[in-house]
Structure 1
Amino acid sequence: MGLRQNLAQFMLLVAVNALVGGTLGQERTVLPLLARQVFHLDLYTSALTYILAFGLAKAGTNYVAGTLSDRYGRKPVLITGWLIALPVPLMLILGPSWGWIVAANVILGISQGLTWSTTVVMKMDLVGPSRRGLAMGLNEAAGYLGVAATALATGYIAANYGLRPGPFLLGGAYIALGLGLSVITVRETRGHAMLEAANHTSAHARAHGELSNREIFTLTSFRDKSLSSVSQAGMVNNLNDGLAWGLFPVLFAAAGLSIEKIGILAAVYPAVWGAGQLVTGALSDKYGRKRLIVGGMLVQAVALGMVAFGTGFGFWLAAAVLLGAGTAMVYPTLLAAIGDVAHPSWRARSVGIYRLWRDGGFAVGALLAGILADAYGIPAAVAVVGLLTALSGIIVAVRMRSTDHKPAI
């Protein structure tokens, strides 16, 4: 157990998660424009149904993924996730109605729930307790750099060759490559978690080593102050990400920005988010999780305020950088905090429950942003979500215990 001892397999999983992120990135620039320009959806609530569908599907699958990976192993769940994704690019290319796009996102959400959740758990298995923040930083950096690079590439493809089919052919290539790598080269890691569990001697481990699924859900969601604080922060983080995904391209297009510039803005936010996690995950190992989570939520709130009240490509570019930086402070740190508290024997299930709440934020964000944007306009919707993000950071500051890790093996 350890990063150095498992470096080759760890870096392979980093590459696989970059492909998982790229599969999601094929939509970030193109789908909001497709809703308006091809399917002529005028209401924001209607246009954001694909994010609602994606969020609900992914959130539910995250929960199932943890249980399945504990029962059947990590690798079969990962491969299943890739197989489920196979029809998505064709549905996005050929879909004759918006219902097809929504259905494709249900399938994509299920696939992402299985693949991304499993790569998270597998990296936790491999590295053990002492480098968990670094591992999560590398995992999430790879995924969101994949999102960013693909958002930029699909913006270029769409500007030069149209909204369909070009951007989604890239997603199809990612799925084929990810499936091949997962089948041929990825190895099972559940044995590493069993080894860690056998040597886990902390008091928290003794108290909670054997829990039912219901008890783990209650502990992660409500009872444990650290786990529940992390869960609500993850949900609000993805609430504002769902807003950025669905409404930012529409806001920028309404301001007269070209598709190329919209693609740049859609890419910069996850690019800074992704690259920043190469640093923030390791920083959370050294300086603790709580201060990075609180600071990151507040930085995101400031960035959303800049989007709501500012105008122009340059100002929005600065806001996108700031939003990415705040998210980078939060994202791997939340996962590492779950790993600190949860016992290895039920860690995969606790991660799944956290990701259930976190990715449920996509659905909440799509509904809330759509309703507010239809009633008051996009800037008002962004401002409200910014306030909610600041409130979430305050809740973490007040309620979360320090989870600074002391190795228990």
Structure 2
Amino acid sequence: MTLATRRRSPQRPAPPHSGAPHPGGPHPRGPRPGGRPIRLGLRANLAQFGLLVAVNALVGGLLGQERTVLPLLADRTFHLSAHTGALTYILAFGATKAVTNLFAGALSDRYGRKPVLVAGWLVALPIPAMLAWGPTWGWIVAANVLLGVNQGLTWFTTVIMKIDLAGPARRGLAMGLNEAAGYLAVAVTATATGAIAAHWGLRPAPFLLGAAYAALGLGLAAAAVRETREHARAEAAAHPAAAGGQPRLGTARIARTTSLGDRALSAASWAGMVNNLNDALAWGLFPLLYAAHGLDLGRIGILAALYPAVWGAGQLLTGWWSDRVGRKHLITAGMLIQAAALGLVAVGTTFPVWVAAQALLGAGTALVYPTLLAVIGDVAHPAWRARAVGVYRLWRDGGFAVGALVAGVLADAYGLTTAVWAVAALTAAAGATVAVRMYETRPRAAAEAPVG
């Protein structure tokens, strides 16, 4: 059955490779070069999976060094009064990361996952120094171009490598662990850099953490991480009729299918873009909104960290939960909860109200983030899954660029509160789109499969 035929079916469509258990049970095996069998599953690949979780924590930490400090740096050090101009670093980051995701998928299929991961960490090396000592705002924007490349290559490969290792039965859990590690590290680093900045200033001290993350990440990627592309090939070999018998789709066809053609993939792409649109708002404008109401740098740092902390910790549960109850309803609920949280930020004027709003925003995002990645992994054939993830992440991380433009323009024209309300409305609309358009993609055997 082709993807097009599946969409025309009046019954709930089944994800392409969920119709039957893998040959030989939940752990397909295949030949590894050198004779060792390849096994899928978390337990079978625990050491390597755990290492990739640690690597992605470093990826998140590199991003987290900016969350508290950079909006205030734009305002206090570089004196950028227009919100649109101040958010140029998020625009540069988001646009670069979005495009890099697309190329990362094709490169990881062609050359392997590990070379792409190592390349991403090499790009990261100059970023902390540029942030710490860059003499003009142009240096900060250039550092965020490099950060977009770094995050597009490294976060992408840690995602796809975990999907490769985990197999279909525990894909949601795998994505939950991956995203939890990354965003808990964002939260910890945002808190740490806020505290460092309160004592030693906005530059250079907070960015020394980023330098340590980059050096350690490069060392682990080069010396300890192993290639996982053969795991994807083993899974593909176990499913010769998967994805409607279309394991050899071209990149242009994959882009169309992910963006528009398949109802689940396209709904996930739209929801992912809006999710990161509101994350751009939280990253770039929330610290300015809190400062305008008189909060000191320490409390701004707590609020900046609370959202990704709840988001990160929550994914430890929500990824696993989506393996049990399905993807669609968690995504719908998460988008609507985020919309409500943004409304609470807009009406709030005190620290306790914003604490509640940030926690609610983190909970909603936790429901959405790993689950959207699991949807892509459910539907895409292993032979073209990396490129499908790249297209999805092109749309999702494009939300940073769209969010920076939309939020900045609206904040300059109508004020910070209006910008928050507008993004809340877009987030609610995305939740409604998922409810109407997406079909359930969770593999039917996942709930009954043993932990592997």
Matched AA of 1:6: N
User: 1:290 maps to which residue?
Assistant: 328
- Among candidates 298, 307, 313, match of residue 260 of structure 1: 298
Q: Aligned partners of 1:97, 1:131: CA distance in 2, in Å?
A: 47
Q: For 1:85-113, what per-residue CA distance to the aligned partner results, in whole angstroms no more than 9, with x for missing partners?
A: 11001111111110110000000000100
* Per-residue deviation, 1:404: 1.8
Residue 190 of structure 2 is aligned to residue 123 of structure 1? no
* Per-residue deviation, 1:203: 5.0
Q: Aligned partners of 1:310, 1:251: CA distance in 2, in Å?
A: 10
Residue 71 of structure 2 is aligned to residue 50 of structure 1? no
Structure 2 stretches of 5 or more lacking a match? 1-39
User: 2:53 maps to which residue?
Assistant: 14
Q: Aligned partners of 1:405, 1:384: CA distance in 2, in Å?
A: 36
Higher helix share: 1
- Among candidates 106, 113, 127, match of residue 145 of structure 2: 106
Q: Aligned partners of 1:293, 1:156: CA distance in 2, in Å?
A: 34
- Among candidates 312, 315, 329, match of residue 350 of structure 2: 312
Moved more, 195-204 or 365-374: 195-204
Q: How does 1:59-74 map to 2 (within 5 A)?
A: 59-74=98-113
Q: Aligned partners of 1:56, 1:279: CA distance in 2, in Å?
A: 30
- Among candidates 369, 389, 405, match of residue 367 of structure 1: 405
Matched AA of 1:402: E
Residue 399 of structure 2 is aligned to residue 338 of structure 1? no
* Per-residue deviation, 1:317: 0.4
Q: Aligned partners of 1:149, 1:62: CA distance in 2, in Å?
A: 25
Residue 416 of structure 2 is aligned to residue 378 of structure 1? yes
Question: Is the contact between residue 304 and residue 382 of structure 1 (CA under 8 Å) also seen in structure 2?
Answer: yes
The sequence identity of aligned pairs, in percent, is: 70
Residue 386 of structure 2 is aligned to residue 348 of structure 1? yes
Question: Is the contact between residue 322 and residue 330 of structure 2 (CA under 8 Å) also seen in structure 1?
Answer: yes
Q: Aligned partners of 1:2, 1:308: CA distance in 2, in Å?
A: 44
Give the secondary-structure state (helix, strand or coil) at the position aligned to 1:63: helix
Q: Aligned partners of 1:67, 1:238: CA distance in 2, in Å?
A: 23
Q: How does 1:193-342 map to 2 (within 5 A)?
A: 193-201=232-240, 204-206=243-245, 208-342=246-380
Matched AA of 1:191: E
* Per-residue deviation, 1:202: 5.1
| CA RMSD, Structure 1 to Structure 2 (Å) | 1.0
Question: Is the contact between residue 129 and residue 407 of structure 1 (CA under 8 Å) also seen in structure 2?
Answer: no
Moved more, 305-314 or 398-407: 398-407
Q: How does 1:133-148 map to 2 (within 5 A)?
A: 133-148=172-187
Question: Is the contact between residue 68 and residue 77 of structure 1 (CA under 8 Å) also seen in structure 2?
Answer: yes
Q: Aligned partners of 1:205, 1:4: CA distance in 2, in Å?
A: 30
Q: Aligned partners of 2:378, 2:266: CA distance in 1, in Å?
A: 13
Q: Aligned partners of 1:4, 1:176: CA distance in 2, in Å?
A: 29
Question: Is the contact between residue 242 and residue 381 of structure 2 (CA under 8 Å) also seen in structure 1?
Answer: no
Matched AA of 2:145: V
* Per-residue deviation, 1:309: 1.0
Q: TM-score, structure 2 length as denominator?
A: 0.89
Question: Is the contact between residue 297 and residue 326 of structure 1 (CA under 8 Å) also seen in structure 2?
Answer: yes
Matched AA of 2:96: A
